[in-house]
Structure 1
Amino acid sequence: MLRLTSALIFASLAASAVAADDFTPPNCSLDEHCPEEYPCCSVYGQCGTGAYCLGGCDPLMSYSLDSCAPMPICQSKTYKWENLDNAATNNEYLGNASESDWVYSGYPKLEDGNLLLTMPKNSVGSLFANNHYVWYGKIGANIKSSRGQGVVTAFILLSDTKDEIDYEWVGADLTEVQTNWYFQGILDWTNGDSSKVDGDDTFGEWHHYEIDWSPDELKWNVDGKTVRTLTKESTFNETANRYDYPQTPSRMQLSLWPAGQASNAQGTIEWAGGEIDWDHEDIKTKGYYYATYGEVTVECYDPPSGTSVKGDVSYDFKDNKGLDSSVEITNNKTVLASLGATGLDMDLGSNSTMLS
């Protein structure tokens, strides 16, 4: 069914929340890169500085490869939800993943030791993104999806060059989970699939979902059983002489969003089961749609054989091919000094530069 990737649709819905009221940022694409003044091409397809240069900043569409800040390296960790002290809003996070494991927009809540991503009436929902990039590894989460036509819950990996690995739950069908993958955001409608989930429904019952991603094979596991496998070998593109396989460092994202919003493309609305009902019983009784996330785990795998390793702090792109061979591991810092800083001048706006 014709639609954009879920990550790009959610980004387009949320874009207006990031831009300043009096500033219309230039757009960016592979054909039209960002200008030096606003060098970073964000996940929203707009150019800017500061937050635009962090998670989601696409080096292939930016002014230069080093316009985006380096990506914090993978960290094996288990996340529980006693509080949100390790989470920062997307307008205050400056790249310090040691201080903030997560960055978010929207309306997260805590309830009974779990994370609730909520979507109040006429909102664009909530997004929770991990700041430690995964470059091959296993991520898992206990999840109860949202419900209702037009409402989509997601648990995905998304790279800055738009490699993507998805779990998605369409609220109009609580018997299955959809799986999908993309390479550099290239839309291929044959990549999607779905799997039945045991039990009564995905909203009322907990299930454990895993993405097991290695350089040669990708597995989607539900409740300990593999429901889908993709091999790198099967993705070879003879025309481009490359593997169209997700292969670059990616951020884990948890989200709840209104795919059935009336302003979306008709194909997206149909895929989501119809237009969203803003008078649904969850809106009436709770004040919002919601998806529930329990314990989340990350297990980092070793980088691909032959990777250039010059440190243990960050991932960087060394060429514009957007392949795993384009990535190196460095000691380059990941933290910007201010919302005016970029990868080209990460100290801009610090006390030292202001005094000089």
Structure 2
Amino acid sequence: MAPFWLSLWLITLSVHIAAGKTLCSTSSKCPSETPCCSQFGECGADMYCLGGCDPRSSFSLDSCLPAPVCKSKTYTWENLDNVANNTVYLGNATAHDWLSSGYPAVEDGNLLMTMPNATVGTLMSNNHYLWYGRISARIKTTRGQGVVSAFILMSDVQDEIDFEWVGSDLETVETNFYFQGVLNYTNGGSFAVANNTFENWHTYEIDWTPDAITWYVDGEAKRTLPKDATWNATSNQYMYPQTPSRLQMSIWPAGTPDTPEGTVEWAGGLIDWNNEDMQKHGYYYVTVGEVNIECYEPPSSANITGYTATIYTDYAGLDTSVQGTNKSTTLKSDTIVDDVSASERKPSPDHASSAEFAVSNAASNPVTAPQITCLSRALLPIVLVALAAFTFF
């Protein structure tokens, strides 16, 4: 299974990443002028310091803005009024609960995450962070080789808990977890789904506690991972997801000519941009119905001095590194300028509530794989070389 950070990287690259940016890692932190390290390993300021900012690789621990705490809520999709475009979001988690990039739409009371021709799809991120909890959603996946659907929890230090579906296999769901982004290919597991995942609704659920993770499909527990099973004697620690994480959902292209061969094989082959859904609708799509988020209490040993946000107090990136606080989650400036000017950003009717708009907007602003290569010539080879060495489930 491909790690979900690849999908995040592909989808957000079209908006955020430009050539010449400084790369970052835990061994090479960001400079003061671009202090915040994104999940893609690139330094920046302003919006780079919001969700996804990795404090371990940033200029200092407080370079990243505090993360809004979890909010138990059920989401439905009559419109996208509760969704902010990620290029204009400034951290006010009371104004919107979701951030989007790509081409989201609503249809018949459901969310459509679309991927028009030669684009990198759609990413939806809840901006409140669970520190243990239960998430569930009714989902109809996409279909077609090379196209992937995802429903995951991701922390700012790259703890990750996944459901993923490869569009060429509509009777299987894949599960996985990662600790701080460390790749371990014994972590994954695949499970049968009773009926076609594209044509039929199924409810997918992740129950995450300090002691175990359980993945459910239609109320049936498919897999349980005890924390005790993740002990690593070499590093003398549990390699278990344990830091505040946000729910993210996406559709993304794994089968492109510029993607490493192993990824393309895992995804079932190269994408057919002329398949039946492209011909009928003009896009691939994932359909999402009701989404539920239930927050659990923080660990009993947690350092809680406030109740609106969380921060990291050391570089270990463990649950003991996290502190509850009442610090602000918003950027100081309300006039952040991003790489896409207001004149270039095409507004949508009714907050992009029509799937037809997704197609027309993508047609006027396409992002192809070759364009992505040009956008980040420094980052792309590093990511692709690393991925080429991986063995995918």
Same fold, TM-score > 0.5, yes or no: yes
1:266 aligned to 258, 261, 276, which one? 261
1:80 aligns with 2:76: yes
1:42 aligns with 2:42: no
**Counterpart-to-counterpart distance in 2, 1:75 and 1:304:** 17
SS at match of 2:287: strand
Amino acid at match of 2:4: S
**Counterpart-to-counterpart distance in 2, 1:213 and 1:148:** 31
Q: 2:305 — aligned with what?
A: 310
**Counterpart-to-counterpart distance in 2, 1:313 and 1:298:** 17
SS at match of 2:47: helix
SS at match of 2:268: coil
Q: 1:213 — aligned with what?
A: 208
SS at match of 1:239: coil
**Counterpart-to-counterpart distance in 2, 1:285 and 1:8:** 28
- Alignment check: 8 A CA contact 1:8 1:43 kept: no
Amino acid at match of 1:181: F
Aligned-pair CA distance for 1:340:
8.1
Amino acid at match of 1:151: V
Gap change, CA 1:291 and 1:154, over 3 Å in 2: same
- Cα deviation per residue 1:259-280 (whole Å; 9 max; x = unaligned)? 1111111111100000111111
- Alignment check: 8 A CA contact 2:5 2:40 kept: no
Q: 1:28 — aligned with what?
A: 24
Amino acid at match of 2:293: V
- Alignment check: 8 A CA contact 1:108 1:126 kept: yes
Report the TM-score, using the length of structure 1 for normalisation.
Answer: 0.92
Aligned-pair CA distance for 1:255:
0.1
**Counterpart-to-counterpart distance in 1, 2:268 and 2:334:** 39
- Alignment check: 8 A CA contact 1:142 1:295 kept: yes
- Alignment check: 8 A CA contact 1:12 1:44 kept: no
Gap change, CA 1:95 and 1:196, over 3 Å in 2: same
**Counterpart-to-counterpart distance in 2, 1:327 and 1:340:** 30
Structure 1 outlier segments of 4+, above 3 Å: none
Amino acid at match of 1:203: F
Q: 1:97 — aligned with what?
A: 93
Gap change, CA 1:216 and 1:42, over 3 Å in 2: same
Aligned-pair CA distance for 1:81:
0.4
SS at match of 1:252: strand
**Counterpart-to-counterpart distance in 1, 2:39 and 2:160:** 13
Q: 1:336 — aligned with what?
A: 331
Amino acid at match of 1:189: Y
Aligned-pair CA distance for 1:10:
3.2
1:249 aligns with 2:247: no
Aligned-pair CA distance for 1:339:
7.1
**Counterpart-to-counterpart distance in 1, 2:90 and 2:232:** 37
Report the TM-score, using the length of structure 2 for normalisation.
Answer: 0.84
- Alignment check: 8 A CA contact 1:87 1:100 kept: yes
**Counterpart-to-counterpart distance in 2, 1:298 and 1:282:** 31
Amino acid at match of 1:112: D
Aligned-pair CA distance for 1:338:
2.5
- Alignment check: 8 A CA contact 2:11 2:101 kept: no
Q: 1:150 — aligned with what?
A: 146
Gap change, CA 1:31 and 1:339, over 3 Å in 2: farther
Q: Number of aligned pairs?
A: 336
Aligned residue runs from structure 1 range 8-23, under 5 A = 8-19=6-17
Structure 1 residues not aligned, in runs of 5+: 342-356
1:275 aligns with 2:265: no
Q: 2:387 — aligned with what?
A: none
- Alignment check: 8 A CA contact 2:254 2:264 kept: yes
- Alignment check: 8 A CA contact 2:112 2:288 kept: yes
Aligned residue runs from structure 1 range 230-245, under 5 A = 230-245=225-240
- Cα deviation per residue 1:73-94 (whole Å; 9 max; x = unaligned)? 0100000001111111011001
259-268 or 109-118: bigger deviation: 259-268
Q: 2:185 — aligned with what?
A: 189
Q: 1:6 — aligned with what?
A: 4
- Cα deviation per residue 1:40-76 (whole Å; 9 max; x = unaligned)? 0012211111110011100011111110000000100
* Structure number having the greater helix percentage: 2
2:62 aligned to 57, 60, 66, which one? 66
Gap change, CA 1:257 and 1:91, over 3 Å in 2: same
SS at match of 1:255: strand
SS at match of 1:219: strand
- Alignment check: 8 A CA contact 1:138 1:299 kept: yes
**Counterpart-to-counterpart distance in 1, 2:335 and 2:81:** 25
Q: 1:290 — aligned with what?
A: 285
- Alignment check: 8 A CA contact 2:150 2:249 kept: yes
Structure 2 residues not aligned, in runs of 5+: 337-393
- Alignment check: 8 A CA contact 2:10 2:120 kept: no
